């Protein structure tokens, strides 16, 4: 590479974190360059060191817990960021290097309006007057594509959708016209159409402002859409780097090949998705040769029309109300006259953008929201007409796996307590000894060791926690499981493991799934039928193969066109 054109050069970066009695080396001597006016994608699973690398660049690592080796260098336009004073680094990182963090809801202050939060950056790093700052902020909100920017200037974060919040984060990041923008998982958990809009927005801003982007992601399908160069990391080392074209179409490293093979594809549906462990062990040695996924036997999906129906929903509606002034209120229709059926042992995929009503339907089926009208039949019984006491018997039949395994498990309970509690409430097992035996068998079924029974949720990774959430559902021996974005935030290999587990459980126990997701490739892989929602309406229901090959509704066509293209 031409050294004169390098905007950022990382040389021999070592980062250590202190543990109780030793140090853990998180980054193990990595080196890479980012050229001017270039997008570099940093790819890898959780724990690979992607975010630690970006935080080291921004000087945001906790000083008491983290240590950077003295022979490491991070050069920005030839100046070593690691040797700058805190004040100098703060000024440079606020103005010339900016960062978009992964979760806009935790990055935006909920008690301050959007305009104030962006204005604060301009107040610190520019000499603009108040009225000039306001005009600049509104101009930024317009540049990132927010509708009614003058109105959004006075809005609070909770009044914006996830995609709009991410646009605000981008506006904050580009406010001082940085030369380098670090985007840490900026599209994780966003709908496919919003994801495409954010990618196109970042690319247009990069070209217009002639800046560089370090794009951090675990989603390989996005890389081909935005990156010039790709760096693949695992366990703190760089496994492979090169042009996006070469890395994605002709990968040299076994780990890169494994990652590319783990993701669900639209053109094939194998009985089991490959995972990285199929190709390599923890020492990164090949354990078996790569097999062409096209040669694997495919799983047939779809409904013939004569399958027994386990769940039927008729004309289900849900409205939410917001207060407008002292005496008026606005009505928002979340779900409008929804009608559909779920066959025994089959999977109904549910797709649509944020706000389309997907999660609301799941919560209505669980009676966690009260429906305004409609009927929900399980075994011929309308569960909406049941008293809370009578509904308890039906709670065992239908369970839900929530999106965030970090929030859905009680951090004060051991895994054993988490698994025993629903069995105790519903009187499953004659005593705690029998319940413990059931719990241990379920842990084994979801590929977790017996020792997990005595541990707490914080001792497990995200994928392991999602397995625990699945085991908790299975304690009640349900017939229907609602999976609400249950694999959306997982790494591609962990996602494949969870999808394989769900499929195995369905084959073994005849479970029926309602699978809610924004990832259309995952929905295509696991679903027999797909239901598309838009602004509370069901606009299309069809067998998964038919819907993906011949979408009928314009909105379905729009969703499918937004899927990142295979490389």
Q: How far apart are the first and last CA of the chain?
A: 25
Q: Distance between CA 516 and CA 482 in Å, rounded?
A: 8
Across 414-441, average pLDDT:
94
**How much is the pLDDT for 61?**
93
Q: Distance between CA 222 and CA 199 in Å, rounded?
A: 8
Across 225-242, average pLDDT:
94
Q: Distance between CA 424 and CA 430 in Å, rounded?
A: 9
Q: Please check the confidence at residue 219 and state whether its pLDDT lies above 80.
A: no
pLDDT confidence tier of residue 1, bands split at 50, 70 and 90: very low
Q: What angle do CA 85, 87, 92 make, to 5 degrees?
A: 95
**H/E segment holding residue 374:** strand 373-378
**Which tens digit of pLDDT belongs to each residue from 291-305?**
555 456 788 899 998
pTM confidence score: 0.84
Report, in angstroms and rounded to the nearest whole number, the Rg of the chain calculated over CA atoms: 25
**H/E segment holding residue 509:** helix 492-509
The 3-state secondary structure of 266-303 reads: CCCCECCCCCHHHCECCCCCECCCCCCHHHCCECCCCC
**Which tens digit of pLDDT belongs to each residue from 364-390?**
999 999 999 999 999 889 999 999 888
pLDDT confidence tier of residue 441, bands split at 50, 70 and 90: very high
């Amino acid at each position: 590479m031409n050294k004169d054109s390098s905007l950022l050069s990382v040389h021999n970066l070592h980062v250590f974190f202190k543990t109780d009695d030793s140090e853990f080396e998180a980054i193990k001597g990595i080196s890479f360059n980012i050229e001017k006016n270039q997008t570099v994608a940093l790819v890898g699973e959780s724990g690979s060191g992607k975010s630690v690398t970006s935080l080291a660049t921004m000087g945001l690592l906790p000083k008491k817990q983290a240590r950077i080796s003295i022979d490491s260098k991070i050069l920005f336009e030839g100046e070593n960021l690691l040797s700058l004073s805190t004040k100098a680094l703060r000024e440079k990182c606020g103005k010339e290097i900016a960062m978009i963090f992964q979760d806009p809801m935790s990055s935006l202050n909920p008690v301050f309006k959007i305009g104030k939060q962006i204005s604060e950056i301009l107040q610190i790093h520019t000499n603009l007057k108040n009225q000039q700052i306001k005009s600049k902020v509104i101009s930024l909100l317009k540049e990132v594509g927010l509708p009614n920017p003058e109105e959004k200037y006075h809005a609070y974060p909770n009044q914006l959708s996830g995609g709009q919040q991410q646009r605000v984060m981008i506006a904050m990041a580009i406010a001082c016209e940085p030369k380098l923008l670090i985007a840490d998982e900026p599209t994780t958990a966003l709908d496919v159409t919003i994801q495409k809009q954010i990618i196109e927005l970042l690319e247009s801003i990069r070209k217009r402002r002639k800046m560089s982007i370090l794009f951090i992601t675990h989603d390989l399908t996005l890389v081909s859409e935005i990156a010039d160069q790709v760096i693949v990391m695992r366990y703190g080392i760089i496994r492979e780097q090169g042009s996006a074209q070469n890395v994605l179409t002709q990968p040299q490293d076994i780990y890169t090949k494994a990652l590319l093979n783990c993701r669900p594809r639209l053109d094939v549906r194998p009985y089991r998705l490959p995972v990285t462990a199929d190709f390599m062990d923890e020492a990164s040695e090949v354990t078996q040769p790569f097999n062409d996924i096209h040669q694997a036997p495919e799983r047939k999906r779809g409904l013939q029309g004569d399958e027994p129906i386990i769940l039927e929903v008729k004309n289900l509606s849900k409205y939410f109300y917001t207060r407008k002034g002292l005496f008026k209120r606005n009505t928002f229709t979340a779900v409008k006259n929804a009608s559909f059926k779920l066959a025994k042992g089959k999977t109904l995929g549910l797709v649509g953008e944020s706000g389309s009503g997907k999660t609301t339907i799941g919560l209505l089926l669980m009676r966690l929201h009260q429906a305004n009208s409609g009927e929900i039949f399980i075994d011929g019984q309308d569960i909406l007409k049941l008293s809370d006491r009578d509904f308890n018997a039906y709670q065992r039949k239908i369970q839900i796996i929530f999106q965030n395994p970090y929030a859905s498990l009680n951090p004060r309970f051991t895994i054993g307590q988490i698994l025993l509690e629903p069995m105790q409430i519903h009187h499953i097992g004659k005593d705690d000894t029998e319940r413990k035996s059931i719990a241990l068998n379920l842990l084994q079924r979801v590929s977790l060791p017996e020792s997990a029974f005595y541990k707490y949720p914080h001792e497990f990774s995200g994928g392991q926690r999602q397995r625990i959430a699945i085991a908790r559902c299975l304690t009640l021996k349900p017939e229907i499981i609602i999976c609400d974005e249950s694999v959306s935030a997982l790494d591609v290999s962990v996602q494949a493991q969870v999808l394989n587990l769900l499929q195995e459980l369905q084959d073994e126990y005849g479970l029926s799934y309602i699978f809610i997701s924004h990832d259309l490739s995952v929905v295509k892989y696991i679903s027999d039928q797909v239901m598309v929602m838009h602004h509370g309406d069901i606009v299309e229901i069809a067998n998964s193969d038919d819907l993906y090959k011949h979408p009928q509704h314009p909105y379905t066509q729009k969703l499918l066109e937004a899927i990142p293209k295979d490389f």
